[in-house]
């Protein structure tokens, strides 16, 4: 769920006009709310269209696609680092 106040703060964040005291709470809400992330994407697409920038369909839902790809990647196993003991010279 997304409140009207959250939507306004998000819009202000996109426009670079959010109050500094609201940045942390707005970004935190964005990170945990799927609907806010969708609104964030829509605001950016609207902005790009208003600026006559090319909007490519594959840009939609890019964060979700990147997350899916990262989750599907195998986790590399690192070799243990050999520690050399150094003799101190006096």
- Please state the domain extents for the chain: 4-70
Q: What is the pLDDT of residues 56-67, one digit of tens each?
A: 776 667 667 777
**Phi, psi dihedrals of residue 73, rounded to the nearest 5°:** -70, 140
Q: Is the pLDDT of residue 81 over 80?
A: no
Per-residue pLDDT tens digits for 12-70: 998 899 999 999 999 888 888 888 888 888 888 888 888 888 877 766 676 677 778 87
> What class, spelled out in words, does domain 4-70 have in CATH?
mainly alpha
pTM of the model: 0.58
What secondary structure does DSSP assign to the chain, as a single string?
---HHHHHHHHHHHTT---HHHHHHHHHHHHH-HHHHHHHHHHHHHHHHHTT----GGGTTHHHHHHHHHHHSPPPPPPPPPPPP-PPP-
């Amino acid at each position: 769920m997304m409140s009207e106040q959250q939507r306004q703060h998000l819009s202000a964040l996109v426009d670079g006009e959010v109050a500094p005291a609201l940045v942390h709470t707005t970004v935190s809400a964005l990170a945990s709310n799927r609907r806010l992330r969708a609104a964030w994407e829509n605001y950016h697409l609207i902005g790009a269209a208003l600026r006559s920038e090319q909007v490519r369909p594959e840009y939609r839902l890019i964060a979700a696609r990147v997350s899916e790809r990262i989750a599907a990647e195998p986790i590399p196993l690192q070799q243990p680092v050999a520690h050399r003991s150094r003799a101190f010279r006096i």
